[in-house]
Amino acid sequence: MAKLNIKKMNKNFRGQLITYAMVIIAFVVMQILIASGSVSYLLQGLMVPLCIYSIVAVGLNLCVGYLGELSLGHAGFMCVGAFSSAFFTKCMLNTGMNETVRFLLALVIGTLTAALFGYLIGIPVLRLRGDYLAIVTLAFGEIIKNVINVLYIGRDSRGFHFSMKDATALGLEEDGEVIVNGAKGIMRIPSQSTFLIGVILLLIALFICFQLVNSRSGRAIMAIRDNRIAAESVGINITGYKLLAFTISAAIAGAGGVLYAHNLATLTAQPANFGYNMSIMILVFVVLGGMGSFRGSVIAAVLLTMIPEILRGLADYRMLIYSIILIAMMLFNWSPKFVAFRQAQMEKLFGKKKKEAV
């Protein structure tokens, strides 16, 4: 009996290690390719966004795949993380603070602010289920984005000034500085996000999620997904664990937002980056990669972000091929016949039955 358990733990742990190894190998290979100059400048610029999308997808998978609640507002949490961290960085810009320390602090602040928003939004929102939850999270995402678009924050010798009208309404002194300039966003943010930082953050996000779902709290979260009434009957605190998973999920999205903010010099809250489309795109990564599979989320995020860029040469046919690839991936992952075929091939290759790893 005891042996069974050791085997199981090893299986979980092995799946975890394979995922880390995949990320690290991909990173090393890319680094070698970049160093040898065989990667286009365009693709090089894609490395940090790849990490960002992977991180947010992993976080969203915790919410969608493990908690079983559909959130369409994760771009909103990214937005919160991005703006709060960028705001901090801008404020600290001329204080002579060490750049690394400043970035780490910005990361912590962005993550915590997103977690706080996730928590506050989660309290009312997680009372809803299914479609209603999706609609309300969607609305929250849009609200966050639109509020930031009319937010003006400036600083002068008297301290901070806030306004929801325009920059002149801040009434700044001559030497004052507008930090958040409404729809123009935050400008001249030092670009500190690198591929290495992105990969490290992705590994941390994966570590937290893997360890969480393989622990007592993770089991409780999955129990709520599998059968809420039964979970309640064995004394699982439904609201508490829902909030926990949602908050962690939002925090991870916030960390992705911090990377995003420090990747571009100018941060604005546009529909293209923090809107509905972004939330859906991340959700596509999660669903296609397999709900409840963090590794799948990362793979899907990388592939689906790379493909449109690689296919850029095909101009008009690009999105056509993209959609065909989406359908192929969906079949590959979910069609029962294809899954059976895949497993049969695996059996042939390895001579023994391989179960689906986590």
Partner 1 sequence: MALLEVRNLSISFGGLKAVDSFELQIEKNQLYGLIGPNGAGKTTVFNLLTGVYKPDEGYIGLDGVDLVGKRTIDINQEGIARTFQNIRLFGQQTVLDNVKIGLHHEYPYSTFTGIFRLPRYHKMEKAMNEKALELLDVFGMADKAEYLSSNLPYGQQRKLEIARALATNPKLLLLDEPAAGMNPNETKELMDTIRFVRDKFDMTILLIEHDMNLVSGICEEITVLNFGQILASGETKTVLKNPEVIKAYLGE
Min CB(248)–partner 1 separation in Å? 9
* Coil, helix or strand at residue 54: helix
Contact between 203 and partner 1 (CB under 8 A)? no
User: CA 26 → CA 209, 302, 308, 335, distances in Å?
Assistant: 20, 10, 19, 28
Which of residues 44 and 215 has its CB atom nearest to partner 1 in the complex?
215
Contact between 226 and partner 1 (CB under 8 A)? yes
Contact between 208 and partner 1 (CB under 8 A)? yes
Task: Work out the burial of residue 328: count CB atoms within 10 Å of its CB; fewer than 13 is exposed, 13-18 middle, 19 or more buried.
Answer: exposed
Residue 213 contacts residue 61 (beta carbons within 8 Å): no
- Per CB under 8 A, the segment of 2-10, 109-117, 191-199, 344-352 that binds partner 1 is 2-10
Helix/strand/coil (H, E, C) string of 117-163? Answer: HHHHHHHHHCCCCCHHHHHHHHHHHHHHHHHHHCCEEEEECCEEEEE
C-alpha angle 295-299-301 in degrees, rounded to nearest 5: 115
Residue 259 contacts residue 201 (beta carbons within 8 Å): yes
Min CB(202)–partner 1 separation in Å? 16
- Specify which residues 163 forms β-bridges with: 152
Min CB(339)–partner 1 separation in Å? 15
Q: Tell me which residues in 5-24 interact with partner 1 (CB under 8 A).
A: 5, 7-8
User: CA 290 → CA 101, 295, 340, distances in Å?
Assistant: 37, 9, 16
Contact between 353 and partner 1 (CB under 8 A)? no
Q: Which of 232, 271, 320, 344 binds partner 1 (CB under 8 A)?
A: 232
Q: Which of 10, 237, 335, 345 binds partner 1 (CB under 8 A)?
A: 237
Contact between 223 and partner 1 (CB under 8 A)? yes
d(CA 279, CA 289): 15
Which of residues 4 and 272 has its CB atom nearest to partner 1 in the complex?
4
Contact between 108 and partner 1 (CB under 8 A)? no
Which of residues 8 and 127 has its CB atom nearest to partner 1 in the complex?
8
- Chain residues binding partner 1 by CB under 8 A are 1-2, 4-5, 7-8, 208, 211-212, 215-220, 222-223, 225-227, 229-238, 244, 292
